[in-house]
C-alpha cells in the first residue's frame, strides 16, 4: 500500500481547516445524547416498504467487484460483472426500482453538489437524513449506498475502460484522470473501508428481518440493538459522503487533493469508528440470534412434550419428531443396513440414551439380554441408541469414537448424533433426567412412555421384567426380599450348588491386598475350626477396574478365594446402584424399606478404601460388616468359638460384631448422578446417624 503524502494542518486553506475542526468535533460528539436526539429528529417513517435486499445485492456487486480489482484496473485490466441471481433480475425487470430511482438520483445530486462546493460531512449527512425522513433506517442506508454506487460505478467504469475504449479515454483526459492514476493507490484505504460499510449495512438489514414471533422489538436484546441503529445509520451515510468527496476531489483537484485529504480526513479515526459500530452490532445480532434459538428450542420442546404426552395411534409420530427435519433421518439396523424410522412402527422400543463414554461392560451385558434371553423368550422389543453429545466440542476423535461404538452395538442406532433434534435432547435431560449414566426409556407400540428408565429393572431382573413398565417394576419389588439370590443374581454359577450343600458363602471386596490376605486366611481358619463348608468370592470395587484386575490376579495366583472377572464385577455394583435408584423412583426410604437400607450399606462399604464382607447361609440368613470389624472378629475367634458351636456361625458372628464398639469411623457413599435421583437423606451404615452431603467431581474412574 502506498504511503500518503502528509501535509501539516497549517498548510491547508483556512476553509479546509475549519472543515477539519468541524469533522473532528463531530467524531468526538456524534455518540452523545444530544447528537442521538438530533439524528432521531430526522426520522418520520410513513410506513412505506422498501425491499432492500435486492438493491443491496446490486450495490454489493458494484462495490465488492471493483474494490478488490483496483490494482488490476490501474494496470489496464478489464473488469468483469458478476451475474445477479434470478430474484434480483426479476426485481429490476419488474420495475420495482422505478419508484426509487428519483430519490437515489436526488441523493446523488445532494452528495455531488455539497462535496463539490466544499460542504462539511456532517451537514451533508443531516441533509440526506432529512431527505430520507419517511423511510426506515435500513432503507436510508441502502438508498444512500445505492446513490454512491452509481457515482462510484461511473467513475471506475471510466478508469477501467480508458486504456481500451476511446470514449472512456477522452473522458478520462478531460477529467485529468491519467495523471491521478499514478497516485490512485493512496486512495485504496478509503475504498477498503467501503467493505466495512457493506458489512454494517447488512447487519442493520438483518435486524429488520428477525422473526417477530420469536423476538420482540420492544424488549432487550432487540430493543437495545434498535437504539443503536440511528447512530450507525448516521455514520454509514457520513462515510459514504467522505468517500464521495474523495472521488469529487480526484475529478476536480488532482494530486493536490489526494495529499491534503489524506491528512484532513483522519481516515484511521473514521475506520475505527465504523469497525467499532460493526463489532457492536454483530455482538448484539449474535445475542438476538441466541434469543431466537432459545425461543425456537422452547417451542419445539413444548411441541415434543405435547406429542409424547398425547395418546397416539402408534409410535411413528414420536419417532419422527426425535430427529431433525432437515436431516436424512435414517437408522442403522442391527445388520448395519440403512433403514427408515418406520421399521420400528408399532413395536415396543427402548430408547437407549447415553454419551460416548458408555462402558464396554454395559454394552456386553445389554447385548446378552438383547440377543440371548430376548430371542429365546420371543420378546417383541427393539433397542434404539440415541447418543447425546456436546456439539460445540465435536471433533474427529469423537466421530471415530461414535463410529466405533456404533459398530459393536447389535441393535438399532442413529446415523449420527447430530440427527437428534436439540429440543428432544433438552426433553431427555430435563424430563427424563439423563445426565451421565445411561438410561433406557420404554415406549410402547403406541408411543406411550411406560418407564423413564428401564435399565434399572433390566439389570435387576433381566428380560423377566418385560414390558419394562413402572407398574411391573413395582409389582416385582412387592415380591422381593433381601436374599442371596437378589444380591448375586446369576453372577456366581456355583451358587445353587453351594446353597444345596449348605455351605457358608462369603462375598467380600476392597482393594487393600494386605487386608485381603489376612481376612481370607483368618476366615478359612475359623471355618476349619468349626468344620463348616465355606466358599469365598472376591467381588472387587466399583470404578476401580485396573486395581481390581491386578488384585484378582494375585488372589487367583495365591489361591485365596474365587474372584470374578471384569464384567461380573461391573454388573454386581451396577445392579446395586440400580436397586437404589429403582427404590428411590418408587418413593422408598431407608426407614420404610429394608432392601434399600441394605443396598445403601453395601454401597457405603464400597465407598471407603477399607475392605468389607457379607456372609450368607442358605438364602436369607446373613451378616455383614466393614473390614476392620470383620477381621477383628475373625482374629479373636477364640472369644466366640464356643458360642458359634452352640448358635451357628452366622448368629454367633452377628452377636460378636454387635459387641465391637467403633469409636471412630468414616463412611462414604459415592453415587453417580442419575435419573433415579440422589437420596436427600442417607444414614451411616455403621452408626445410623444422618450422613453429611458433599459434592465430588471425578473424571477418572480408576
Alpha-carbon distance of 654 to 657, in angstroms, equals 5
Section 511-532 average pLDDT: 95
Confidence of residue 44 (pLDDT cuts 50, 70, 90): very high
Residue 119 — φ and ψ, nearest 5°?
-70, 155
Residue pLDDT, tens place only, 522-577: 999 999 999 999 999 999 998 888 999 999 999 999 999 999 998 899 999 999 99
Residue 331 — left, alpha, or beta (φ > 0 → left; ψ -120 to 50 → alpha)? beta
In angstroms, the CA 584 to CA 477 distance is: 12
Q: What is the pLDDT of residue 543?
A: 84
What are 358-403's pLDDT values in tens digits? 999 999 999 999 988 787 778 889 999 999 999 999 999 999 999 9
In sequence order, the 6+-apart residues with CB closer than 8 A to the CB of 371 are 410
Average pLDDT over residues 89-94: 50
> What pLDDT digit, counting tens, does each position of 227-283 carry?
899 999 999 998 888 878 776 766 655 555 554 544 445 556 777 788 889 999 999
CA dihedral for 159, 162, 163, 164, sign (positive or negative) = positive
CB 509 within 8 A of CB 605: yes
Report the predicted TM-score, pTM, of the whole model to 2 decimal places: 0.78
Q: How much is the average pLDDT of 495-502?
A: 92
Q: What's the whole-number mean pLDDT along residues 90-102?
A: 63
Cα 20 off chain centre by:
51
Cα separation, 599 vs 572, whole angstroms = 12
pLDDT of 79 above 70 = no
pLDDT at 458 over 80: yes
Residue 657 CA: distances (Å) to CA of 207, 629, 652, 654: 75, 7, 9, 5
Tell me the DSSP string of 476-539.
Answer: HHHT--S-HHHHHTTS-TTHHHHHHTT-EEEEEE-S-HHHHHHHHHHHHHHHHHHT--EEEEE-
Query: What is the structure's pLDDT at 398?
Result: 96
**pLDDT value of position 10:** 35
Tens of pLDDT, residue by residue over 325-360, are 765 568 999 999 999 888 999 999 999 999 999 999
Instruction: With CA atoms as reference, report the closest residue to 672 among 380, 304, 357.
Output: 357
For residue 183, the model assigns a pLDDT of 57
Can you give the pLDDT at residue 31? 56
CA distance 86 to 644: 97
More confident residue, 592 or 186: 592
pLDDT on residue 14: 44
| 528 burial level (CB within 10 Å; 0-12, 13-18, 19+) | exposed
Report the pLDDT value the prediction gives residue 252, as an integer from 0 to 100: 56
Other Cβ atoms closer than 10 A to 375? 10
Q: Flag whether pLDDT at 223 surpasses 80.
A: yes
Closest CA to 76 of 153, 186, 166, 163: 163
Position with higher pLDDT, 457 vs 21 = 457
User: What's the half-sphere exposure (Cβ side, CA atoms, 13 Å) at 314?
Assistant: 10
- Mapped onto helix, strand or coil, the DSSP state of residue 354 is strand
Q: Enumerate long-range contacts of 81-87, CB under 8 Å, 24 or more apart.
A: 84/57, 84/58, 85/57, 87/54
Residue 464 CA to residue 482 CA, distance in Å, equals 19
- Mean pLDDT over 154-163 rounds to 78
Q: Cell 437515489 appears where? A: 104
Mean residue pLDDT of the chain comes to 82
**Residue 122: predicted pLDDT:** 87
Q: CB of 473 within 8 A of CB of 451? A: yes
Residue ranges and CATH numbers for the domains of the chain are: 38-74+92-295 (no CATH), 315-479 (3.40.30.10), 484-691 (no CATH)
Contact 628, 609 (CB under 8 A): no
With a pLDDT cut of 90, the percent of the chain lying above it is 51
pLDDT greater than 80 at residue 132: yes
Query: Is the pLDDT reported for residue 11 higher than 50?
Result: no
| pLDDT, tens only, 55-69 | 888 888 887 666 555
> Are the CB atoms for 651 and 532 separated by under 8 Å?
no
Least confident span in 15-24, 126-135, 576-585? 15-24
pLDDT, average across residues 1-15: 36
With 0-12 / 13-18 / 19 or more C-beta atoms within 10 angstroms meaning exposed / middle / buried, residue 14 is exposed
pLDDT at 462: 92
Confidence of residue 447 (pLDDT cuts 50, 70, 90): very high
- CA quadruple 128, 130, 131, 135: dihedral positive or negative? positive
pLDDT band at 666, cuts 50/70/90?
low
Q: Of 76-85, 416-425, 545-554, which gets the smallest average pLDDT?
A: 76-85
* pLDDT at residue 4 is higher than 50: no
Q: What is the DSSP letter of 462?
A: G
Give the whole-angstrom CA distance, residue 548 versus residue 417: 34
Residue 487 has pLDDT above 50, yes or no: yes
Residues 6+ apart with CB under 8 A from 658: none
pLDDT at position 173 over 90 = no
Mean pLDDT of 86-100: 57
Amino acid at each position: 500500500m502506498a504511503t500518503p503524502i502528509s501535509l501539516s494542518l497549517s498548510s491547508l486553506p483556512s476553509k479546509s481547516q475549519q472543515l477539519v475542526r468541524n469533522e473532528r468535533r463531530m467524531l468526538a460528539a456524534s455518540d452523545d445524547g444530544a447528537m442521538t436526539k438530533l439524528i432521531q429528529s430526522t426520522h418520520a417513517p410513513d410506513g412505506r416498504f422498501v425491499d432492500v435486499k435486492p438493491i443491496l445485492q446490486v450495490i454489493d456487486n458494484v462495490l465488492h467487484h471493483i474494490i478488490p480489482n483496483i490494482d488490476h484496473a490501474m494496470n489496464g485490466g478489464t473488469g468483469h460483472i458478476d451475474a445477479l441471481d434470478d430474484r434480483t433480475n426479476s426485481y429490476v425487470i419488474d420495475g420495482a426500482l422505478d419508484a426509487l430511482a428519483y430519490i437515489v438520483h436526488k441523493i446523488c445530486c445532494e452528495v455531488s453538489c455539497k462535496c463539490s462546493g466544499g460542504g462539511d460531512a456532517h451537514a451533508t449527512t443531516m441533509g440526506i437524513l432529512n431527505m430520507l425522513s419517511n423511510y426506515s433506517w435500513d432503507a436510508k442506508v441502502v438508498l444512500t449506498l445505492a446513490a454512491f454506487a452509481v457515482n462510484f460505478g461511473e467513475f471506475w467504469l471510466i478508469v477501467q475502460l480508458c486504456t481500451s475504449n476511446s470514449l472512456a479515454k477522452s473522458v478520462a483526459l478531460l477529467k485529468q484522470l491519467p495523471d491521478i492514476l499514478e497516485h490512485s493507490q493512496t486512495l485504496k484505504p478509503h475504498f477498503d473501508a467501503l467493505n466495512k460499510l457493506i458489512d454494517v449495512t447488512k447487519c442493520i438489514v438483518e435486524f429488520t428481518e428477525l422473526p417477530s414471533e420469536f423476538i420482540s422489538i420492544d424488549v432487550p436484546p432487540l430493543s437495545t440493538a434498535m437504539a443503536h441503529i440511528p447512530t450507525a445509520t448516521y455514520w454509514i451515510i457520513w462515510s459514504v459522503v467522505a468517500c464521495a468527496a474523495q472521488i469529487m476531489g480526484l475529478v476536480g483537484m488532482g494530486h493536490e487533493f489526494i495529499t491534503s485529504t489524506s491528512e484532513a480526513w483522519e481516515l484511521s479515526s473514521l475506520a475505527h469508528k465504523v469497525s467499532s459500530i460493526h463489532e457492536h452490532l454483530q455482538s448484539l445480532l449474535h445475542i438476538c440470534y441466541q434469543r431466537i434459538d432459545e425461543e425456537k428450542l422452547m417451542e419445539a420442546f413444548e411441541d415434543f412434550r405435547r406429542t409424547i404426552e398425547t395418546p397416539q395411534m402408534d409410535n411413528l409420530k414420536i419417532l419422527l419428531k426425535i430427529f431433525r427435519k432437515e436431516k436424512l433421518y435414517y437408522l442403522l439396523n442391527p445388520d448395519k443396513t440403512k433403514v427408515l424410522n418406520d421399521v420400528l412402527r408399532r413395536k415396543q422400543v427402548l430408547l437407549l440414551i447415553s454419551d460416548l463414554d458408555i462402558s464396554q461392560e454395559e454394552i456386553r451385558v445389554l447385548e446378552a439380554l438383547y440377543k440371548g434371553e430376548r430371542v429365546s423368550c420371543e420378546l417383541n422389543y427393539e433397542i434404539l441408541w440415541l447418543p447425546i453429545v456436546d456439539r460445540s466440542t465435536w471433533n474427529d476423535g469423537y466421530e471415530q469414537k461414535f463410529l466405533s461404538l456404533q459398530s459393536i452395538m447389535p441393535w438399532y442406532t442413529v446415523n449420527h448424533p447430530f440427527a437428534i433434534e436439540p429440543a428432544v435432547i433438552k426433553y431427555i435431560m430435563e424430563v427424563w433426567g439423563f445426565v451421565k449414566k445411561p438410561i433406557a426409556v420404554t415406549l410402547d407400540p403406541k408411543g406411550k412412555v411406560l418407564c423413564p428408565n428401564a435399565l434399572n429393572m433390566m439389570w435387576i431382573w433381566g428380560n423377566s421384567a418385560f414390558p419394562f413398565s413402572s407398574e411391573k417394576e413395582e409389582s416385582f419389588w412387592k415380591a422381593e426380599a433381601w436374599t442371596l439370590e437378589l444380591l448375586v443374581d446369576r453372577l456366581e454359577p456355583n451358587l445353587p450348588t453351594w446353597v444345596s450343600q449348605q455351605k457358608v458363602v462369603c462375598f467380600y471386596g476392597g482393594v487393600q491386598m494386605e487386608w485381603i490376605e489376612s481376612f481370607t486366611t483368618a476366615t478359612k481358619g475359623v471355618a476349619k475350626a468349626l468344620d463348616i463348608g465355606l466358599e469365598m468370592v472376591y467381588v472387587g470395587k466399583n470404578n476401580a477396574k485396573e486395581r481390581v484386575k491386578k488384585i484378582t490376579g494375585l488372589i487367583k495366583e495365591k489361591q485365596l478365594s474365587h474372584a470374578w472377572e471384569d464384567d461380573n464385577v461391573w454388573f454386581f455394583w451396577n445392579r446395586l446402584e440400580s436397586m437404589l435408584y429403582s427404590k428411590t423412583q418408587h418413593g422408598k426410604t431407608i426407614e420404610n424399606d429394608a432392601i434399600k437400607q441394605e443396598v445403601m450399606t453395601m454401597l457405603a462399604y464400597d465407598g471407603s478404601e477399607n475392605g468389607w464382607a457379607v456372609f450368607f447361609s442358605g438364602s436369607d440368613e446373613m451378616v455383614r460388616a466393614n473390614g476392620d470389624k470383620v477381621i477383628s472378629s475373625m482374629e479373636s475367634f477364640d472369644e466366640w468359638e464356643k458360642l458359634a458351636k452352640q448358635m451357628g456361625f452366622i448368629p454367633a458372628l452377628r452377636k460378636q460384631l454387635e459387641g465391637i464398639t467403633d469409636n471412630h469411623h468414616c463412611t462414604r457413599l459415592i453415587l453417580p448422578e442419575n435419573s433415579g435421583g440422589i437420596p436427600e437423606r442417607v444414614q451411616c451404615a455403621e452408626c445410623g446417624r444422618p450422613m453429611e452431603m458433599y459434592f465430588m467431581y471425578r473424571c477418572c474412574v480408576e
